[in-house]
């Protein structure tokens, strides 16, 4: 099989993933089909799609093939792993195991205690975000075989993240035959994705400096975002903005 044909096969498989993801947007029922289609894009030994439950402060697995201990780690501890802070950073790109710095791997309980005992040598973890900036869940893919380079599947997995996010988003999807009103297609309050992130952190009671640390920006930039948020929402202070966020159900990423 030529490299060009291999790439074509991967792209064709990606179309099937997107179709499966569209069918899964109403909930977990189609998540297994999404992972099955994804196996044609990137071969794996274990994989999972997990939804972030903001109220409970944990992930919930919608579909997956990891052993019980690994699944429990993804659901209850992964969001505290040092690697997760990199995953949900400003770049928001998938993190392939072969690209993780050695010192970060050494500090990661997930790799040391969960993946390495399974013989995992490669794979990708990808945080998933809704168009309004909400963190909605993540994709984990692991293999015992190192990936070849160059690997077209890397770029394809990145291109699929929007569809995968829609598949895990608890607010995603409408019953067949219904269409979202025009207003539902807009971001709340006309805020930008970054302003929505800042609003969510503000609503959690964090200071400008704490927000800056979590979002990898400066406190001064946070202050500017908050000024814009107050102006766009036409509210007098942070408390009023936080109340608006609560009414919209906006919660910070873990």
pLDDT tens figures, 216-236? 888 999 999 999 999 888 888
pLDDT band at 192 (very low <50, low <70, confident <90, very high): confident
pTM of the model: 0.67
Between 69-83, 132-146, 163-177, the lowest mean confidence (pLDDT) is in 163-177
Mean pLDDT of 143-163: 84
Mean pLDDT of 157-161: 87
pLDDT band at 170 (very low <50, low <70, confident <90, very high): confident
Express each pLDDT in 59-113 by its tens digit. 999 999 999 999 999 999 999 999 998 888 765 678 899 888 899 999 999 999 9
| Domains of the chain and CATH, by start | 3-168 (3.30.450.80), 187-248 (1.10.10.10)
Output the pLDDT for position 71: 95
Mean pLDDT of 132-159: 85
Q: Rounded to whole angstroms, how far apart are CA atoms 211 and 198? A: 7
Q: Rounded to whole angstroms, how far apart are CA atoms 202 and 114? A: 34
* Residues whose CB is less than 8 angstroms from the CB of residue 64 and which lie 6 or more positions away in sequence, other chains included: 35, 46, 47, 48, 49, 50, 71, 74, 140
Q: Rounded to whole angstroms, how far apart are CA atoms 62 and 49? A: 6
As given in the structure block, the two tokens for residue 254 are 């873990």
pLDDT band at 144 (very low <50, low <70, confident <90, very high): very high
Determine whether 109 is exposed, middle or buried from the number of CB atoms within 10 Å of its CB (0-12, 13-18, 19+).
middle
In terms of pLDDT, which residue wins out, 184 or 206? 206
């Amino acid at each position: 099989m030529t490299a060009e044909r291999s790439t074509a096969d991967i792209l064709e498989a990606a179309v099937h993933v997107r179709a499966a993801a569209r069918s899964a947007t109403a909930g977990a029922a189609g998540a297994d089909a999404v992972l099955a289609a994804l196996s044609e894009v990137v071969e794996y030994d274990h994989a999972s799609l997990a939804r972030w439950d903001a109220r409970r402060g944990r992930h919930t697995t919608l579909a997956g093939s990891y052993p019980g201990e690994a699944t429990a780690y993804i659901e209850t501890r992964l969001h505290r792993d040092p690697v997760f802070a990199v995953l949900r950073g400003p770049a928001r790109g998938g993190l392939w195991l072969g690209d993780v710095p050695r010192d970060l791997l050494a500090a990661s309980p997930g790799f040391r205690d969960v993946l390495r005992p399974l013989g995992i040598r490669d794979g990708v973890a990808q945080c998933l975000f809704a168009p309004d900036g909400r963190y909605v869940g993540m994709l984990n893919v692991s293999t015992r075989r190192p990936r070849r380079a160059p690997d077209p599947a890397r770029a394809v997995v990145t291109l699929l993240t929007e569809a995968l996010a829609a598949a895990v988003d608890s607010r995603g999807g409408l019953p067949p035959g219904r269409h979202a009103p025009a207003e539902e297609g807009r971001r709340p309050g006309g805020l930008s994705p970054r302003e929505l992130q800042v609003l969510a952190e503000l609503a959690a009671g964090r200071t400008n400096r704490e927000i800056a640390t979590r979002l990898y920006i400066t406190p001064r930039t946070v202050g500017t975002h908050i000024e814009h948020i107050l102006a766009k929402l036409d509210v007098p202070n942070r408390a009023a903005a936080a109340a608006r966020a609560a009414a919209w159900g906006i919660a910070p990423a873990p």
